[in-house]
Amino acid sequence: MHPLKILESEVVQCRRCALRQNAHGVVFGEGAESSRIVFCGEGPGAEEDRLLRPFVGPAGQLLDKMMSAMGFDRQRNAYVLNVVKCRPPSNRVPLPEERESCRPHLASQLEILRPAIIVLLGSTAIQSFLGPEARVTRVHGQWHQYQTMWLMPTFHPAALLRNPAWKVLAWEDLKKVIDQYRVLVDPNHPSPYHPISDDHLG
């Protein structure tokens, strides 16, 4: 059995914080187990809690479109997960203690996946890695390193649905991710909207 499956069987039993009491279940994450890129969000919403899958509501549908534009697919070459694995009541922001309770699960996932790049979607994911003062409007588009992984903070798809003007900024961030993926993982990685340039080939 793959280590991720073993970990998932442990995480679904978790009762480390109160979120599990009101949630339908644990939303572990999903994607290609050999993926070198991870998309990390905040926590499950109502639709995610119902289906026990990450990013399947309106924001998830937009994320799939964003990933597709980048040349990624969660079944083929990307992994999607959240900072907290259980839905906060009324979709509120996870509390700091809830994030801390879930942090070992996230750390174990990343240890198994060992991605080259993590795309941090929105404030909760960004603050979980960069600290409580980090603001998406200030740090998006800037590379950070975490252990051996490169972090790219950008806007959460739900925020892009509320504020479509940010989509232009988000796409600039994601183009940097594609470029870095070509450097770190696959120089021939295809993206339908960001082709490999002659400059990049050097």
Over residues 12-38, the pLDDT tens digits come to 999 999 999 999 999 999 999 999 999
Q: Are strands 30-31 and 79-82 parallel, antiparallel or unpaired?
A: antiparallel
Which pLDDT band holds residue 202 (cuts at 50, 70, 90)? very low
Q: What is the mean pLDDT of residues 42-49?
A: 96
Q: What is the mean pLDDT of residues 72-100?
A: 95
Distance of alpha carbon 22 from alpha carbon 18, whole angstroms: 8
Share of residues in the chain with pLDDT > 90 (%): 95
Q: What is the mean pLDDT of residues 134-151?
A: 97
pLDDT at 197: 77
Residue 199 predicted with pLDDT over 60? no
The superfamily (CATH) of domain 3-201 is Uracil-DNA glycosylase-like domain (3.40.470.10)
pLDDT at 198: 53
How far lies 119's CA from each of 61, 113, 125, 130, in Å?
17, 14, 9, 13
The domain spans of the chain are: 3-201
pLDDT at 201: 46
